[in-house]
Structure 1
Amino acid sequence: MDWTIEVAILPVTDVDRTKAFYESIGFAADHDHTVSDEVRFVQMTPPGSNCSIAFGKGLTDAESGSRPLHIICVSDINAAREQLLSAGVEVSDVDVQAWGHFVYFGDPDDNRWSVQYLPYRYAS
């Protein structure tokens, strides 16, 4: 039996601003439903991913930016960094380590992300 991670909840202060941010870096908007005056659910998925993020109104009591670092994997760290820069995102330089290459950024609510490239996955 497979166990898969489907959704990670992000705490945010402005749902529309957050949705626009993630759309600008290429995430697809899967769902945007206002359930009631107290609940709005937005789910977005990065290109090629089986795991999504969700945020909205009434989904979590956590403070925005309070979650631990989220990690997303890519096959080309330089292209990922350029895509983020093209969208106006403040992103770190590439951090090359023996186990992988990384760039870091945050969303408008300072939910922190590590973008990682693992060379051994793409070695021929």
Structure 2
Amino acid sequence: MDMKLELIPLPVSDVSRSKGFSVDALDFPLDHDVEPGNGMRIVEVTPPGSACSTAFGTGMTRPDAGPVHGIHLVVDDIAAVRRGLRARGVDIGAIRDLDGVAYASFSDPDGNTWELPSLRGPRVS
């Protein structure tokens, strides 16, 4: 039996701000920005090279949902990705070595936390 993770809904407080962060700062391609009716708006973006998308919008998550922590975006060259994100204004932490896997992390405007693990590349910076 196959099971494919294809979409992670994220709680956000401002759909337009989250879209701007995802598309402009993270450079995620915009897949959809639709308003199906009844005041709903759904935005879907997919990290480059990923088979799993993230989506956010009005009516997608419970109003009392807290942030999602530890979303992993696996990268090959963590130093280059970190430089690119910093250049686009993302407040990303230093690269740290956790038992041979390099990590750097950041938060989106709603406190959802993202980890960038890499098996290759520099271990510290």
Aligned to 1:73, what secondary structure does the other structure show?
Answer: coil
Would you say the 8 A contact 1:12–1:64 is kept in 2?
Answer: no
Per-residue CA shift, 1:41-74, capped at 9, x if unaligned? 1110011110000000000115465223211100
Number of matched pairs: 119
Would you say the 8 A contact 1:12–1:65 is kept in 2?
Answer: no
Q: 2:119 corresponds to which residue?
A: 118
Q: Give me the whole-angstrom Cα distance separating, in 1, the residues matched to 2:57 and 2:107.
A: 17
Structure 2 gaps of 5+ residues are 121-125
Q: 1:10 corresponds to which residue?
A: 10
How do 1:50-89 and structure 2 match up within 5 A?
50-63=51-64, 66-89=67-90
Structure 1 pair 72–60 and aligned structure 2 pair: CA distance change class (3 A): same
Runs of at least 4 residues off by over 3 Å = 62-65
Letter of the structure 1 residue corresponding to residue 45 of structure 2 = M
Structure 1 gaps of 5+ residues are 120-124
Superposed CA RMSD: 1.5
Per-residue CA shift, 1:3-48, capped at 9, x if unaligned? 2110001000110110010112210110111011331111100111
Taking structure 2 as the reference length, the TM-score comes to 0.88
How far did residue 108 of structure 1 move?
0.8
Would you say the 8 A contact 2:32–2:43 is kept in 1?
Answer: yes
Percent identical pairs in the alignment equals 38
Q: Give me the whole-angstrom Cα distance separating, in 1, the residues matched to 2:63 and 2:101.
A: 31
Would you say the 8 A contact 2:29–2:47 is kept in 1?
Answer: yes
